[in-house]
Amino acid sequence: MPDGHDYRQVLLIDRACTGGFEFQYDGEPIVWAPGEMEVSVSADVVRFVFTHDHLKVHTTDGQYVHRVAIKAAPGFKAMVPLLQHELGTEVADSEPIEIADALEGWDTRGVPRGLGITETKKVHIDAAALRERQGVGRQRAVAVEKS
């Protein structure tokens, strides 16, 4: 690894067993197609995922855990103990999870979702009403609920 990067491959699995999500690493999308359970990534990606919370989810049993885990598959087994030692045993916790219909621990089942729920409004704000640091008056886009 003369350039400082660890390109050794590791198999990441979707613990929710649904696929259909993605995240970005170093400007490149890491994509799980709907129904796809496994994606091969570099060890650097695994280190990034498990040192940040962006792929953590709330589960129906009240936990806040990483949605993904590494898998000890043929050809990938050598990296599992190394990454467990470095990042903790949670990296290999492949127990299936059920993602809660919650946002940051709040139950949001009563909130309508989907396209057409919000609309964009243009609001003209008079220049005199703005503080100096906000610049000159202009139209601003604001999302509001449809009634």
- Judgement on whether residues 96 and 134 belong to the same structural domain of the protein: no
Geometric angle at alpha carbon 5, from 2 and 9, rounded to 5°: 115
- Judgement on whether residues 79 and 52 belong to the same structural domain of the protein: yes
- Judgement on whether residues 117 and 103 belong to the same structural domain of the protein: no
**Is pLDDT at 141 greater than 70 in this prediction?**
no
| 121 in any annotated domain | yes
Structural domain total, the chain: 2
pLDDT in tens, 94-138: 899 998 875 655 666 666 666 566 666 777 767 666 554 454 445
- Judgement on whether residues 78 and 120 belong to the same structural domain of the protein: no
- Judgement on whether residues 76 and 135 belong to the same structural domain of the protein: no
- Judgement on whether residues 80 and 23 belong to the same structural domain of the protein: yes
Q: Quick one: pLDDT at residue 107? A: 61
What percent of the chain stands above pLDDT 70?
A: 69
| 1 in any annotated domain | no
